A and B are shown apart, each in its own frame.
Chain A
Amino acid sequence: MAKVKGDIIIDIEKCKGCELCIEACPQDTLEQSRSVNTKGYLYIVKVQDNCTGCTNCALVCPDGAITVFRQSGKKKEQIAKITNVTGDLKVTVG
């Protein structure tokens, strides 16, 4: 079975370093960083490229700091279609 491919974006300025997302992630994708954000919290970073897009981390995050993405198309060829390259670049996704 092909692995479901997901990804996340972490708003590190919103993160309060509570580590609940680390605990909730079944893939061990997340770790606490060694540097702090402007508020002084040790924010969260992605340390592995194995996210499945299950949304667990985002659901438990009290500060809504995580946005989760999941690859929708089954075939890679369907990610995007690029047309009219010499003129204005048009990208059709889907």
Chain B
Amino acid sequence: MNEKKMTGDEHYETMIAEENICINENIVYDKPHDALYSTPMHYCPGCGHGVVHRLIAEVVEELGIIHDVIGVAPVGCSVLAYNYLNIDMSEAAHGRASAVATGIKRVLPDKYVFSYQGDGDLAAIGTGETIHTCNRGENILVIFINNGIYGMTGGQMAPTTLANMKSSTSPFGRDVQTMGYPLKITELVAQLPGTYYVTRQSVHKAVNVRKTKKAIMNGFLYQKENKGTCFIEVVSNCPSNWKMSPVESNKWLDENMLPFYPLGDIKIPSNSSKNNGE
């Protein structure tokens, strides 16, 4: 601003000429500030974990449950989720997040409890806990990030690795004859009577980010109904271990992961208007 004294009209015109619309009233999107710390996340550039963390924080803030939500972090890349989410969190042994969440929910039934787990955690070492949690119909939300690989330990093959997909322990591609088939654990738990809401989403495009947010919102809201486990799979990327740029990895996800792991609701509560399926 220049120093010279201006009349009201001159001020007025200056404002219009500058057209500075970066003012609080015009904000249409800002990251959550209460439920998410401003700490930089340690995730690799372009990793879907950051988006899902942000969505959880947005939902928690919008529902006003920041003091009533308890999360359980897994072992894997997102082991430090509690450093980023400013809510009560507990750590669990590898694969056991849903079991720990079960305990928390049973002791504190009024709290919103969720586990946040990757595929190496939930679908490999934790398969037993996952299936039995869902089969008991524990009234928790399970958020499952599936990038088809063990990210934290260096890109080893996971149960969810696609057929013929290369990983550091399947350098010639996953041969299903010897290494088995990729596990669709989300479809599997949808068969169990204990699950109430099962859906598969992704965060590789803006439109999918919106849908995933709705799904997470539903997952928390359904907990109030006490009807069973909500299970949200988010098909995600791992640019570092897929050895691609983030943009390439999302393209690869679209072309390879999604045909095998199709997006959409797999099980929705009957007479519910909250579904966001495709």
Partner of B23, one of A18, A58, A60, A69: A69
Least CB distance, B252 to chain A, in whole angstroms? 13
With an 8 Å Cβ cutoff, the count of chain B residues facing the other chain is: 43
Contact B50 A64 (CB under 8 A): yes
Given A60-B51, A70-B21; A82-B8 close (CB under 8 Å): yes
Q: Which A residues are CB-close (under 8 A) to B31?
A: 58, 64, 67
**A80 close to B (CB within 8 Å):** yes
Least CB distance, B55 to chain A, in whole angstroms? 9
Given A9-B22, A67-B31; A85-B16 close (CB under 8 Å): no
**B107 close to A (CB within 8 Å):** no
Given A68-B29, A82-B8, A82-B15; A63-B50 close (CB under 8 Å): yes
Least CB distance, A57 to chain B, in whole angstroms? 8
Contact with B along A7-28 (1 / 0, CB 8 A): 1010000101111101110000
**B118 close to A (CB within 8 Å):** no
Partner of B19, one of A5, A16, A20, A93: A5
**A83 close to B (CB within 8 Å):** yes
Q: Which A residues are CB-close (under 8 A) to B225?
A: none
Least CB distance, A94 to chain B, in whole angstroms? 7
9 contacts between A and B (CB under 8 A): A18-B247, A19-B247, A20-B246, A20-B247, A55-B206, A62-B47, A62-B48, A67-B29, A69-B26
Interface residues of A (CB under 8 A from B): 5-7, 9, 14, 16-20, 22-24, 39, 41, 53-56, 58-64, 66-72, 76-77, 79-83, 85, 89, 93-94
